[in-house]
Amino acid sequence: MQRAARHLTIGSDPMAVRVPPAAVPARSGAGTVVALLAFVPVWMSRPLGSGNASLAFAIPFLVALWAVLRPAPPQAFGRALQGLQMEALAVGSVLVMASVSMLVSPDPFRAARILLPMAYAVCALIVMARVPPILRRRLVYALLFAGVLVLSASLLLSQSASGRALVMRDYRLRGFVENANQLGLMILCVWPVAVALLLNARTLRTRLLGVLAVGVLAAAMVLSGSKTGLALGFASGALTWLYHASRSGSIGKTMVTLTLASCALIVAVPILLYILSLASPITFAKIDTILTHGIWDYRSIQTRDEIWQESLRLGLANPLLGSGAGAKVLGVSHSHNLALDWFRGMGVIGLAAALLLTLAVLVRSAGFLVASWRRSAANRSIDVVTAAMFIGAAFYLLGNYLSDSLSPTTAFPFWLVYLAACLEARQRVVPASAPRWSNLGSAKGLPMQAPAARRGAA
């Protein structure tokens, strides 16, 4: 046991390089605090920007540079890239097509809106490939609490007349990002992680942190007035809770826990709607209109339907190269639908890339949930956090089919959370002999972690 504890194996490959203890971060919160402060600008793109550019868009590149300067196993990036062929193909295709479409675009420089999120994918993979597993989770926690810090300030400012002008637009909280829909998507990405943190809490400190994170994110989501964010946020939080409940140990205890959790979720719906009616009456009135008259009678959906139809027309008219990546449509920055936005901007290859990326994320996320659900209560805390990261990434991407189109403002949190989940899942679920994305849902070969990894995983 002592000999095994001297090294931490990176990855599930039995031939993986073993890193000496000096490369494993100490169990200290100082590094997490520094990372938290580094991620604060990610949640503040508007005050740090001018026009379509923002200093916040440089943060992913700076974090990637920090990771490059760290000691790491040889070929760390290549090993991390294994099994991510579908995502790599989608990202590479978009990078190429967005660049080519600039030749036919009425505003070539707006291609940066598409190119930056794809570059962030590379940055996030560099970061997650070069840090130990425990540091991956700490970086995700730092991203979460950077958002909690910024949103806490936004909520306080929204209570005064002068502050409302800074963080509100009409009745909707937008914090320090461009609009309320983007804020809702950023919250959606880390919301399941906050729920998992609260569910896993075993000490007073972690319980307080969990309650703080869940409370601040929930309040900000409600005040944002994002109907997509509210619906998907409830669904993703419920799924995280049900997954946690399903890992209760024996079949009998699991069934009892799942039944109680399901009943609590059913009761929670009218309670949450009542709270919403008090906290944001205008948002509640709009949701009531949707529930009463149907979604297609809602004015916002009618407006987006016009944008969707125009985006489809432009894509069909320019199927090879598109009409220009990132170009505006009907005076709007994007199509409010990821697939249509990439189709009109980059043609059929852009459409295929959007669908391929979405399929990869959904299949990988579902594969982990299914494969790990059959495990016992052992290591539940780690699995719940990994599942929460997958759930946050998957629901964020689904939200980009209604509220946004993978913008530079919201993309880096998605890639950071998603790739952290992928590498965590690879260690815990994927058979070492076949690290392909299609094997993620396999029930075979649940590799044991090295003792040092197990002790540092909490």
Helix (H) or strand (E) segment spanning residue 8 = strand 8-9
For residues 424 and 11, what is the distance between their CA atoms, to the nearest angstrom? 9
Cβ proximity of 94 and 350 under 8 Å: yes
* Model pLDDT, residue 50: 78
For residues 406 and 410, what is the distance between their CA atoms, to the nearest angstrom? 7
Domain residue ranges of the chain, discontinuous segments joined by + = 35-67+75-455
CA 396, distance to chain mean position in Å, is 6
Amino acid at the residue 98: A
For residues 22 and 367, what is the distance between their CA atoms, to the nearest angstrom? 34
Cβ proximity of 136 and 423 under 8 Å: yes
For residues 342 and 335, what is the distance between their CA atoms, to the nearest angstrom? 9
Alpha helix segments (H runs only) across 131-280: 133-157, 161-167, 180-200, 204-224, 227-246, 251-279
CA 283, distance to chain mean position in Å, is 24
CA 359, distance to chain mean position in Å, is 15
Q: What token pair was written down for 152?
A: 């806490």
- Provide the 8-state DSSP code for 70: S
For residues 217 and 145, what is the distance between their CA atoms, to the nearest angstrom? 10
Instruction: Name which of 265, 261, 215 is nearest 235 in CA terms.
Output: 265
- Provide the 8-state DSSP code for 1: -
Q: Low-confidence residues of the chain, pLDDT below 70?
A: 1-29, 248-254, 258, 293-294, 296-298, 374-378, 428-458
* Model pLDDT, residue 320: 93
Q: Integer distance in angstroms from the first to the last C-alpha of the chain?
A: 19
- Location of structure tokens 């140990």: 249
Give ∠ CA 338-64-343 in degrees, rounded to 5.
15
* Model pLDDT, residue 253: 67
Cβ proximity of 78 and 70 under 8 Å: no
CA distances from 6 to 1, 397, 450 (A): 9, 40, 10
Helix (H) or strand (E) segment spanning residue 19 = strand 18-19
pTM recorded for the entire structure = 0.84
For residues 341 and 354, what is the distance between their CA atoms, to the nearest angstrom? 9
Q: What token pair was written down for 48?
A: 């740090």
Relative orientation angle of helices 112-130 and 338-373, to the nearest 10 degrees: 20
Cβ proximity of 322 and 343 under 8 Å: yes
